[in-house]
Amino acid sequence: MKAAGILALIGCLVTSTESKVYTRCKLAKIFARAGLDNYGGFSLGNWICMAYYESGYNTTAQAVLDDGSVDYGIFQINSFTWCRYERLQEKNHCHVACSGTVLICQKHYPQEQRHES
């Protein structure tokens, strides 16, 4: 059931041809349904705040960094470590294309960051 919810969420948030900028309330509802409230010890408010400051709730936000890697999506998942981007040799910890990263990868990110610290 949880996997189906995550897949539905990805269907809502990832559209390769169309940008979507969510409102705070709509994104909070989507995140709550996906089980992000208190996931990894972070409140729903923390997730919403992070999404706002990373991308302004824009599903197709991208930022090219000085090292050539690219940050993608609502949470600005980095291509060098977390996903596969065509021009770089990445670690791809989430085992997905960068265009498909939203919550699947984000749910791995807090635990991985803690282990690297």
- C-alpha span between 98 and 1 (Å, rounded): 25
From the candidates 37, 67, 71, 116, give the one annotated as an active-site residue.
71
- Tell me which residue of 71, 45, 42, 40 sits closest to 58, measured CA to CA: 71
Catalytic residue list contains 71: yes
* Backbone torsions φ then ψ of 86, nearest 5 degrees: -55, -25
From the candidates 18, 37, 54, 66, give the one annotated as an active-site residue.
54
Cβ partners under 8 Å of residue 112, min gap 6: 93
Catalytic residue IDs: 54, 71
